[in-house]
């Protein structure tokens, strides 16, 4: 946010920006103005009011009083991108599959925290906590039906990320073929008759 302190001569000193629980560092004026960037996640969703406070320095304190001003900004939550990657992408009913679920708010956004779950048909995983924005869920042997299965991943932000991110979901496909039934080879079985 750009903050300008008007006056003649040019005001010198510092400004500070506050909004809700957010409070910026004190920033020196340059040419009567300053720009302060509020970090992602520092503001609550909705309409936030910024209050800027100007404090004159020793050069300006005989000319200017402390002053303040305010403005509003609308803050909306981000719906992150959920990427679902099964490995391998094709299994038999006798195999498990590892599913990595990554949650990203995009370049420059804070790392998402919270939990992901995975469902497919009658299978439902427990909640897996994100670490570094991703989690891996192992789908056990026999949990997926033969055919083309849809893996449904859902993200739920925790208290740290709920100010920034909405819940989100995405899907991936997994090809599952029926494993051959076990059998006993008889080709070498010989009955010996004497």
pLDDT of residue 190: 53
169 contacts 152 by C-beta, under 8 angstroms:
yes
Is 181's pLDDT higher than 90? no
| Interval 32-40 mean pLDDT | 90
Name residues whose C-beta falls within 8 Å of residue 102's C-beta, 6 or more positions apart in sequence: 82, 83, 85, 133, 134
Give domain limits for the chain: 2-75, 81-177
CA 39 to the chain's CA centroid: 15
Distance CA 120, CA 116 (A): 14
Strand ranges for 20-164 from DSSP E: 22-23, 27-28, 33-35, 46-56, 67-75, 81-87, 90-92, 97-104, 114-120, 123-124, 128-129, 134-139, 147-157
Looking at residue 191, what is its pLDDT? Answer: 54
Cα–Cα distance between 169 and 164 in angstroms, integer?
16
Grade residue 40 by pLDDT with cuts at 50, 70 and 90. confident
What's the CATH superfamily of 81-177?
Answer: Macroglobulin (MG2) domain (2.60.40.1930)
pLDDT tens for 126-165 read 999 999 999 999 999 999 999 999 999 999 999 989 989 9
The CA dihedral of 88, 90, 94, 95, to the nearest 10 degrees, is 10
Q: Average model confidence (pLDDT) for the chain?
A: 92
């Amino acid at each position: 946010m750009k903050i300008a302190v008007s006056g003649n001569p040019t005001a010198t000193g510092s400004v500070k920006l506050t909004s809700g629980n957010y409070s910026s560092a004190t920033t020196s004026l340059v040419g009567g103005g300053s720009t302060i960037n509020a970090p992602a996640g520092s503001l609550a969703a909705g309409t936030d009011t910024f209050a800027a406070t100007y404090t004159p320095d020793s050069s300006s304190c005989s000319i200017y009083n402390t002053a303040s001003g305010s403005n509003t900004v609308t803050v909306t939550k981000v719906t992150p991108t959920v990427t679902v990657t099964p490995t391998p992408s094709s299994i038999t009913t006798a195999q498990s599959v590892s599913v990595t679920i990554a949650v990203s708010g995009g370049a420059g956004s804070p790392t998402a925290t919270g939990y992901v779950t995975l469902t497919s048909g009658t299978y439902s995983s427990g909640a897996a906590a994100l670490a570094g924005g991703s989690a891996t869920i192992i789908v056990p042997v026999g949990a997926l039906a033969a055919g083309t299965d849809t893996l449904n991943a859902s993200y739920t932000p925790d208290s740290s990320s709920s100010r920034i991110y909405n819940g989100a979901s995405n899907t991936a496909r997994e090809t599952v073929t029926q494993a051959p039934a076990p059998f006993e080879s008889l080709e070498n079985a010989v009955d010996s008759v004497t």
